[in-house]
């Protein structure tokens, strides 16, 4: 029976670590039912509140999922490694590949909803694109899934005048996506900047990304610029914080 003394972890965290280890070792596999509150109470001789806290830790981490009236089950999911420089390389999109293919490889990554239309640009978008206040921009809103799981919400903004009459305004932008189309227009992205912050999700994001309680999201704000440092796209992304590993490589 775990005991917490002095600076040792609370008992519920010790129990959670035991369960986490069982999942990592394969003793408990995807879809297996993990010991419930009653089982943990008997096994570790702890109060119900302690057993409940232990399970809550794993639920909040996204390792297990609670199904009402049935129990708590293992939900193993291999996080998506998002390699910043590689996914945005000209070599990728100029060859007709979508940037997400650099991350997902042969996994089932898909867009399951998309909304496209012109709007008056929010102030921060006008500023980022160097446009007059409330200038018309093309907005593309998408939700992405990986292996059937909602992973990311993304909204791109481009100057409406630049995108007018092109495949950029279509649901299927063609091989290489938006950046390949911009290159065809003589506005190929040559530089990218990304800003990342972590926060807790809004109720709408919890619903759309099917987030477990306590799961944070990553906000990624990317700006694409031409060789002349003219901004041609701003992309606001909201990522399920439990489903991504962000990788960036730098030379010393």
- What pLDDT does 40 receive? 95
Q: Which of 114, 156, 113, 165 minimizes the C-alpha distance to 138?
A: 156
Instruction: Encode pLDDT of 137-157 as tens digits.
Output: 999 999 998 878 899 999 999
Instruction: Encode pLDDT of 204-250 as tens digits.
Output: 999 999 887 778 999 999 999 999 999 999 999 999 998 888 888 87
- What pLDDT does 82 receive? 83
Domains in the chain with CATH codes: 11-74 (1.10.10.10), 80-247 (3.40.1410.10)
Give the C-alpha separation, 225 to 232, whole Å.
Answer: 6
pLDDT confidence band for 3 (50 / 70 / 90): low
Give the C-alpha separation, 221 to 126, whole Å.
Answer: 14
Question: Is the predicted pLDDT of residue 17 greater than 60, yes or no?
Answer: yes
Mark 134-173 as b/e (b = at least 16 C-beta within 10 Å).
eeebbbbebbbbbeebbbbbbebbbbbebbeebbbbeeeb
Instruction: Encode pLDDT of 164-194 as tens digits.
Output: 999 999 999 999 999 999 999 999 999 999 9
Q: Which of 17, 32, 21 minimizes the C-alpha distance to 64?
A: 32
Residue 204: alpha-carbon gap to chain centroid: 15
- What pLDDT does 4 receive? 54
Please compute the mean of the pLDDT values over residues 37-59 and round it to a whole number. Answer: 94
The long-range contacts involving 8-12, CB below 8 angstroms and separated by at least 24 positions, are 10/53, 11/44, 11/46, 11/50, 12/46, 12/50, 12/51, 12/53, 12/54, 12/57
Q: Give pTM, 2 decimals.
A: 0.75
Q: Which of 247, 153, 167, 165 minimizes the C-alpha distance to 206?
A: 153
Tokens read off for 198: 């972590």
Give the C-alpha separation, 215 to 58, whole Å.
Answer: 11
Provide the angle, in degrees to the nearest 10, between the axes of the packed helices 37-44 and 48-61. 120
| DSSP annotation of 121 | P
Chain mean pLDDT for the chain: 89
Percent of the chain with pLDDT over 70: 94
Question: Phi and psi (nearest 5°) for 150?
Answer: -60, 130
pLDDT confidence band for 163 (50 / 70 / 90): very high
Largest CA distance in the chain: 69
Instruction: Encode pLDDT of 49-91 as tens digits.
Output: 999 999 999 887 778 888 888 899 987 667 778 877 777 888 8
């Amino acid at each position: 029976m775990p005991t917490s003394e002095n600076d040792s972890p609370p008992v519920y965290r010790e129990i959670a670590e035991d369960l986490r280890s069982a999942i990592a070792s394969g003793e408990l596999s995807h879809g297996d039912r993990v010991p419930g509150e009653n089982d943990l109470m008997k096994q570790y001789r702890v109060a119900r509140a302690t057993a409940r806290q232990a399970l809550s830790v794993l639920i909040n981490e996204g390792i297990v999922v609670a199904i009402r009236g049935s129990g708590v089950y293992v939900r193993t999911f291999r996080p998506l490694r998002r390699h910043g420089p590689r996914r945005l390389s000209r070599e990728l999109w100029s060859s007709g590949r979508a940037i997400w293919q650099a991350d997902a490889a042969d996994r089932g990554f898909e867009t399951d909803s998309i909304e496209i239309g012109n709007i008056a640009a929010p102030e921060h978008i006008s500023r980022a694109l160097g446009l007059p206040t409330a200038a018309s921009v093309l907005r593309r809103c998408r939700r992405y899934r990986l292996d059937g799981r909602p992973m990311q919400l993304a909204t791109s903004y481009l100057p409406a005048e630049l995108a007018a009459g092109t495949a950029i305004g279509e649901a299927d932008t063609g091989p290489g996506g938006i950046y390949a189309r911009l290159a065809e227009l003589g506005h190929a992205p040559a530089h990218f900047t990304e800003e990342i912050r972590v926060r807790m999700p809004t109720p709408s994001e919890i619903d759309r990304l099917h987030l477990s309680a306590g799961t944070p999201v990553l906000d990624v704000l990317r700006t694409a610029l031409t060789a002349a440092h003219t901004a041609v796209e701003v992309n606001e992304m909201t990522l399920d914080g439990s489903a991504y590993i962000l990788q960036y490589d730098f030379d010393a």
